[in-house]
Structure 1
Amino acid sequence: MPRKKMGEILIENKVISEQDLNKALLRQKGTKQPIGQILEDMDVILEEDIAQALSTQFGFTYVKKFAQYKFPLDVLNKVDADFALSHMIFPLKIDNKTLYLAMSNPLDMALQNDLSFKLGMRISPCVATSAEIKAAIKKHYLKEIKEQAGEQAVNILLVDNQDIVLNAAEAALKKEGYLVYKAKNGAEGLSIASQLLPDLVITEIAMPRMDGVQLYKSMRANQDLGRIPVIALAARTGAEDEARLLDMGFDDFIAKPINPIRLLARTRKALRLVTK
């Protein structure tokens, strides 16, 4: 028996009309976007509707409200928090060398194969909404990992589109005992910051998708992120540009290439300002 298409399932469940589906199919032509994503962009369905349809279409277990349960550290430690946030996954349980994984995209076979090879375990995907996964990470995952490092551990989010900069800064900060998370552009950084609520953000100014200034303004406009200190990073920047960034409200400025001693000094300074 052929597998039903998502559009058919959504119509059967009375989530959308045939008219909605036809409009979405027209928009889909010439693109590689999934029909569910197009319907969500049209504001005619919710992410939960997509998750339920995927569960029906492919036989995935649909999981929700799992943030309320307790998860042992040996399960959480199978996937680090940064990776979980970046890929919207959450480890649920281990049973007979199988890791049951909540995923916002359970059809991502490349990710499952990569984890299976890395962990030496079978991956059993379950479908969940991004909101449910974020809630679980926020309540359990980051909390448990932070407790392992000590109650005084400090979370720092690095945002830069250059791996060499991210890795160098991460090495210097981790050596001092900070917990470091990384993002490769402002949009990814904003998403991680919203869940992590870091103690400090250090961001490059010139980046694709969302630059450092846009990230800073988005954080300041957000009630939860508005008080987090933000240090600007930039290469080939003159005194006038530095002054402009500081006048804009950035808590400090570090010129590239990054000097580890200067990075740590500015980091400590920014964190002291928050704790006063």
Structure 2
Amino acid sequence: MARKKMGEILLESEVISQSDLDQALLRQKGNKKPLGKILEDMEVILEEDIAKALSTQFGFPYVKRFSRHRFPQQVLDKIDAETALAHLVFPLKIDKKTLYLAMSNPLDMSLQSDLSFKLAMRISPCVATPDEIKTAIKKHYLTEVPSDKDDDTLNILLVDNQDIVLNAAEAAMRKEGYTIYKAKNGAEGLKIATQLHPHLIITDVVMPRMDGIEMFKALQANGEIENIPVIALSAKTAAEDEANLLGMGFFDFIAKPINPIRLLARVKRALKIHERK
């Protein structure tokens, strides 16, 4: 028997109308967005509706309210915080050689295959909403970021694996009254950004573990922090390199080595424009 399409499932459950579906299908032409995301953008369905529809469509278990539970450390250790944040997944339990994994996108077969090979375990996907997974990650993976700022202070996250760059940029911006947080790679930066929700992120493009581009893509996939402006730093200063970064969606580009005057001008511009939105 043919598997029902998501639109059919949402129609049958009376979550959407035929008019909503027709409009969404029209918008879907010419872009690669999933139907569920388009309907969510149209504000006619919720994350939970999408999760339930995926569960019905593909037969995955639907899980919710698991963030409040306790999980053995041996289960949490199967997935590192970087992977959990970048892919919005959370380990639920281990049964013999099977890891049950809450996923916002249970159709990500590439991730499942990579994890299965790395862990030498079978991956059994369960559907969960992105918000539920993010809540669980914050509670069980992330250490609170110390904050010395008051409500009126603008805070900026600097991400670079070179101390000389971090310290020079920090010194220039602290003189302007900004509160500065620092990370040595994209993985650390992503963790801090998820908790801190900074007003601006400045990141190097080339770094070990997780580079600036990978971090930026993970930020863009997280609805809570996708609108934070991100300035790219790079030693590659050719026009095409700058154009590529701006084309990806970076707010601005600053060439290395950093000029403090140029840095402050770009920072003030980014914060001013972001404040208007």
With the shorter chain as reference, the TM-score category is 0.5 to 0.7
Extract unaligned runs of 5+ from structure 2.
147-156, 167-181, 206-211, 221-225, 232-252, 272-277
1: distance between equivalents of 2:16 and 2:267?
Answer: 49
Identity %: 56
Cα–Cα, structure 1 residues 19 and 249, in superposed 2: closer, same or farther, change >3 Å? closer
Root-mean-square deviation (Å): 4.0
Q: Give 3-state SS (helix, strand or coil) of 2:186's partner.
A: strand
Give the match for residue 214 of structure 1.
229
Q: By how many angstroms is 1:56 displaced?
A: 0.6
Give the match for residue 99 of structure 2.
99
CA contact (8 A) 2:158 2:183 kept: no
Superposition TM-score, scaled by structure 1 size: 0.63
CA contact (8 A) 1:203 1:233 kept: no
CA contact (8 A) 2:201 2:230 kept: no
1:68-83 paired onto structure 2 within 5 Å: 68-83=68-83
Higher helix proportion, which one?
Answer: 1
Q: By how many angstroms is 1:234 displaced?
A: 5.2
Is 1:197 matched up with 2:209? no
Count of residues paired in the alignment: 208
Q: Give 3-state SS (helix, strand or coil) of 1:244's partner.
A: helix
CA deviation string 1:76-99 (max 9, x = no partner): 111110110010000001001100
Cα–Cα, structure 1 residues 140 and 239, in superposed 2: closer, same or farther, change >3 Å? closer
Superposition TM-score, scaled by structure 2 size: 0.63
Cα–Cα, structure 1 residues 61 and 15, in superposed 2: closer, same or farther, change >3 Å? same
Cα–Cα, structure 1 residues 242 and 30, in superposed 2: closer, same or farther, change >3 Å? closer
Pick aligned residue for 2:186 from 178, 182, 193: 182
CA contact (8 A) 1:205 1:234 kept: no
Give the match for residue 108 of structure 1.
108
CA deviation string 1:199-236 (max 9, x = no partner): 9x97337888789x9248xxxxxxxxxxxxxxx98514
Is 1:241 matched up with 2:256? no
2: distance between equivalents of 1:182 and 1:65?
Answer: 29
Q: Give 3-state SS (helix, strand or coil) of 1:62's partner.
A: coil
2: distance between equivalents of 1:47 and 1:78?
Answer: 26
Q: By how many angstroms is 1:108 displaced?
A: 0.5
2: distance between equivalents of 1:42 and 1:247?
Answer: 33
Extract unaligned runs of 5+ from structure 1.
152-156, 160-164, 173-177, 217-231, 251-276
1:85-96 paired onto structure 2 within 5 Å: 85-96=85-96
**Letter of the aligned partner of 1:204 in structure 2?**
T
